[in-house]
Structure 1
């Protein structure tokens, strides 16, 4: 079973937070493994305290449901499941057909959160395309 290396997970959250910062947003970012366990986390020191749990829950949701949270908004049946948060900003981590987990950002508008999370993934895409 392949897992996301810690230095890759850390790069994803770093790039996601930095991408949002360049747009003027103060955010937190979380990466979780395929089971929803926290693998990396980074918070802009000026982001709101709520962004910590929100980013982790969005990442957990995208990983355990294996779908971006933007695709799950209509799933009201999941809204009461523990730790599930169906707010846009959680994105699955998939490279070369392999599922690794989820990444999420919190602190900007939901669509910007998602864009910053995807920017984190784009920052490691070249590395991950060659992982075997």
Structure 2
């Protein structure tokens, strides 16, 4: 295989994996979209408020598309665990390009992907969602922890995304 063919295969695999990266076979750089911190904060605040209105004290983490935290908010009475749990949920969503609820179902004992549960940071437990732009490219992840169920964490995360949906859909 020629060097050009290898570079093309690498560029295509990177673009396929990330969903947002773009580069030609001879380009030295990859371009991608990532959510601005102001929108990450707005999303986290909306998720926190949604849970608060439902009577839940939670923590919310928004990570960039690489899994690095941008924002963490914790309500007054949320447990000490919500920082780690919300961060790991958001990280898991962007790392595996899947909601953590879907990943939970896909990694049950006996499933082919069960080994994911052995990774130190992966947390396949509902409450972690991908944030995608209008073209379906991942731009961030959001994780919510502290509601009484994973589905309630999901609902609050969805409310956070809905708060910025018009700004990121183009």
TM-score interval (norm. to shorter) = over 0.9
The root-mean-square deviation of aligned C-alpha atoms, in Å, is 0.9
- Give unmatched runs, 5+ long, in structure 2: 1-31, 108-113
The alignment partner of 1:8 has SS state of helix
Aligned equivalent of 1:105: 144
Q: What is the TM-score with the length of structure 1 in the denominator?
A: 0.95
2:50 aligned to which of 1, 8, 19: 19
Q: What is the TM-score with the length of structure 2 in the denominator?
A: 0.74
The alignment partner of 1:62 has SS state of helix
How many pairs were matched up?
130
Q: Which has the higher helix share?
A: 2
The alignment partner of 1:71 has SS state of helix
Aligned equivalent of 2:161: 121
Deviation at 1:82, TM superposition (A): 2.0
- Consecutive aligned runs of 4 or more in structure 1 exceeding 4 Å deviation: none
Aligned equivalent of 1:41: 72
Map Cα deviations across residues 97-117 of structure 1 (whole Å, 9 max, x no partner). 221121010001110000000
Map Cα deviations across residues 42-68 of structure 1 (whole Å, 9 max, x no partner). 110210001110000000000111100
Q: Which has the higher strand share?
A: 1
Partner Cα distance (2:96, 2:63) in 1: 12
The alignment partner of 1:124 has SS state of helix
Deviation at 1:87, TM superposition (A): 0.4
Asked if 1:93 corresponds to 2:117, the answer is: no
Partner Cα distance (2:33, 2:103) in 1: 26
- Give unmatched runs, 5+ long, in structure 1: none
**Mapping for residues 36-75 of structure 1, pairs under 5 Å:** 36-73=67-104, 74-75=106-107
